[in-house]
Structure 1
Amino acid sequence: MAIKDILKFGDKTLTRVSRRVEKIDEEVLSLIQDLKDTLYNTDGVGLAAPQIGVLKRVILIDLRDGSEPIILINPKITKKIGRVEDIEGCLSYPGYEGEVVRPRRVIVLGITLEGNEVEYTAEGFLARAFCHEIDHLDGIIYTDRCKKVYKIEEE
């Protein structure tokens, strides 16, 4: 359990496809704790295992709005509905943001820490977060989907 370095844009690990988790064991539980420790040391709302150098299909999303954090193993989007364009940023590409078209609503299937299958129907920002983090598992960074990336102006 530790705060890990977040891989930055240009690191080849971020472009690789992650492996499915076959068994929820101590290694996976330790990975999840590392994701929590690392995310909560930032102002981000999501983190995927590849961002800390582990090519396993595990994501953590915490919108920090009072809702429970979402930890999903082997998540997959089973349905996409609508389209909406909005601004995104990424902990692996600090100091930049870009406009990305994402589904307005998604249905996501995955496995909980307890090994139970769970389905989420998500809209708005949560749908965007699911898409963003699951893209990381497939070696896709949000900039791959941007029309243009902008440097964030410092105040």
Structure 2
Amino acid sequence: MRKVVTYPNDVLTTPTQAVTHIRQDTIELLDDMYDIMLEEDGIGLAANQLGESVKIAIVELDDESGLIEMINPVILEEFGKEINVEGCLSFPDVYGTVERAETIKFWYVNREGVSTFDEASGYLARAIQHEIEHLNGGLFTDKIIDRLTPEELEAYMEDKEYD
């Protein structure tokens, strides 16, 4: 079973390679990523977080947004700015506020090979940006404005009326 790679590991800061063909190993990776994301209580995961240097990421914020499986994703447009808290499975117990676009338009290919244009706002847009940043070798820790301890995170979430 694959495991989440934690920082420091060069695979996290090295840009990933485009997927040229969707093969059985691509589908198996997507399935493994989903299982591991759920097991680790995450809302997103990039392939390089499992040591696989390919442009594949998944996000599932909630039942409403559903699972978004992205192969070779690209952000096409960004609108607005918003600061909110983030964490990362590759950085256990590290949290901080990060500025990101409030709304994005993005493109990706799904597991069936279908080219998809989509738009996301709010925390879903944030999660997608975070995962695409991973695929490009970027880390949210490089963008942290204010770092939060796990206790401060809990207070922050209560203050923002998150559950």
TM-score in same-fold range (> 0.5): yes
Distance 2:45 2:127 in 1: 9
Amino acid across the alignment from 1:127: A
Distance 2:144 2:66 in 1: 29
In the other structure, the counterpart of 1:76 is: 74
* SS of equivalent residue, structure 1 residue 104: strand
Matched length: 153
Amino acid across the alignment from 1:125: Y
For residues 5-154 of structure 1, the aligned pairs below 5 Å read: 5-153=3-151
Distance 1:36 1:86 in 2: 24
Instruction: Give 1 or 2: higher helix fraction.
Output: 2
In the other structure, the counterpart of 2:160 is: none
Amino acid across the alignment from 1:73: I
CA displacement at 1:66 relative to structure 2: 4.1
Distance 2:99 2:64 in 1: 26
TM-score (norm 1): 0.94
Amino acid across the alignment from 1:141: L
Overall identity of the aligned pairs, in % = 34
Distance 1:36 1:112 in 2: 14
Instruction: Give 1 or 2: higher strand fraction.
Output: 2
- Which deviates more from structure 2 when the two are superposed, residues 100-109 or residues 28-37? 28-37
Q: Deviations over 1:22-65 (max 9, x none)?
A: 00001111111110111110211000000000000001101133
Amino acid across the alignment from 1:128: R
- Over the aligned positions, Cα root-mean-square deviation in angstroms equals 1.4
* SS of equivalent residue, structure 2 residue 30: helix
Amino acid across the alignment from 1:134: I
User: Which ranges in structure 2 are unaligned for 5 or more consecutive residues?
Assistant: 155-163
TM-score (norm 2): 0.89
Distance 1:88 1:68 in 2: 20
CA displacement at 1:102 relative to structure 2: 0.2
Amino acid across the alignment from 1:27: D
* SS of equivalent residue, structure 2 residue 91: coil
Distance 1:59 1:85 in 2: 22
